[in-house]
Homo-oligomer: A and B are copies of this chain.
């Protein structure tokens, strides 16, 4: 999940953001408005060195162990969608936030805010799905909480999961550690989750159903770290999509990123849906993909490890890191031209996670 992400310093912003005295849907988008909210309200209040790392997980030392700690609330609509539901998504989201810090997930919490009148059967289905997802990842739900609010005061069911993991020895991954010369890997095709939710929600039908890619990435991270390649940063491009994730990393590391459009995998059907809906796959959320920044010498080894993993058959090298010399993220197109890839502005798809 993209959270507490710093606004990229110095990226081009063609139109000024709407200044507002009320919270807008776009403030939850993972894009520029989210960054503004974090910069103006959350960071000044909670200022501390761990939070200011602005990664998807906090790394804290406890009794000689390096622990990763993360939290995410899930408000996805609808609760059930092709490829998953709010229960499995809540597990995968938190596991992935831990894994992106190089941590092995250990335990999780699950807290439910339920709207009065929710069918028991719906709750049971979600809880069972959540349990199955946790079981598959070998993570126990060790603590929880339940609140019920009056009909009309919530939308069915919201879930918060928090998680604790243990960071692998010698591993130091962070959004501020990307370096010129790094190779950027992407573990698979873009946009499946966002398009699956949107299509299902709007009742749009395609020849075959587009399914969410929601999946736990912890075992892929293990396989990558086992290669011994020099990794600098892992991140799962969720809200705000790949473009927002890469803008954040480039800004925090003080580098520039050059992508090659020809190597970024997007399923034909997702591409068609995006064209129909006026969306750019680079901005659509994923829930089972990761980017890895690795020293060039280890890039081929890392790519093989990704492709050998069941969730990484479509992995590609999608770009490289250079010294800052212009916009944060640029994309070389199939036509040989170059365009700037900015952070998501406004709100593309509300409540996709």
Which of the segments A38-46, A178-186, A245-253, A303-311 contacts the partner chain?
A38-46
Closest residue on chain B to residue A33 by CB atoms: B148
Q: Let me know if B22 and A118 touch, CB within 8 A.
A: yes
Q: Which of B3, B34, B113, B128 contacts A73 (CB 8 A)?
A: B113
A17-58 CB mask vs B (1 if < 8 Å, else 0) is: 000111111111100001001100110011010110000011
Question: Would A45 and B143 count as touching, CB distance under 8 A?
Answer: no
Partner of A124, one of B28, B41, B154: B41
Main secondary structure of the interface of A (DSSP, over half): mixed
Given contacts A25-B149, A48-B140, A69-B107, 18 further A-B contacts (CB under 8 A): A22-B118, A25-B150, A27-B146, A28-B146, A38-B146, A42-B127, A45-B127, A46-B127, A50-B143, A64-B65, A70-B143, A71-B111, A71-B143, A71-B160, A74-B147, A113-B113, A153-B155, A164-B164
- A residues contacting B by CB (< 8 A) are 1, 3-4, 20-29, 34, 37-38, 41-42, 45-46, 48, 50-51, 57-58, 60, 62-65, 67, 69-75, 77, 106-107, 109-121, 123-124, 127-128, 130-131, 134, 140-150, 152-155, 158, 160, 162, 164, 166, 350-351, 353
